[in-house]
Structure 1
Amino acid sequence: MPTISMFYGIIIRMYCAPEEHNPPHFHAYYAEHTATIDINTCELIEGSLPRKQLKLVLAWAELKQEELKANWEIAMNSELPFRIDPLK
């Protein structure tokens, strides 16, 4: 699962597989925490992150939503998604 962005100790990854389940989503990792975020709604689907890190990830997802949607399409064609600028 390629890393598409990293910021403030948070790693953002997306699977590259046509059989990956809907809705379009990405995975966020922080220390021992893992969360799955819906790209269309920018909401937590599964898992958990500390409150501060979750707010950062959701804000980043809203800012980068179009790039995330494009990456999802690329990943569903079994191609490597591109890197997305981190939250600054």
Structure 2
Amino acid sequence: MPTIFVLRGVRFMIYPNDHDPPHVHAWGADYEVVVLLGNCEEIYPTLREVRGKPSQAALRMILLAAHERCPQLFEAWRIHHGYQG
């Protein structure tokens, strides 16, 4: 599972052989958050799934990081999945 980047102890990962739509898994110490990437322009990253109990601050940080680094995350998805979107 390639880690794309780590921010404040949260690993942002893209799983090989994962399903569409393009998304990223953000792993904290005791939670996992799945964020849909959208297209990074008109459709911004949104929460898809939350497992565990991240704080509201952690959720905001994850969404902001996914938004700010959306092109990097989308390119990583494309490399691992061949997505042309």
TM-score for both structures, normalised by structure 2: 0.80
The percent of aligned pairs where both chains have the same amino acid is 28
Q: List alignment gaps of at least 5 residues for structure 1.
A: 78-88
- Code of the aligned partner of 1:35: V
Aligned length: 75
Deviation at 1:29, TM superposition (A): 0.9
1:57 aligns with 2:62: yes
Q: Distance in 1 between matches of 2:80 and 2:7?
A: 21
Q: Distance in 2 between matches of 1:50 and 1:75?
A: 30
RMSD: 1.3
Checking the alignment, whether the CA contact within 8 Å between 2:4 and 2:73 is kept in structure 1 is no
Q: List alignment gaps of at least 5 residues for structure 2.
A: 39-43
SS for the counterpart of 2:79 is: helix
Q: Distance in 2 between matches of 1:66 and 1:45?
A: 18
Moved over 4 A (4+): none
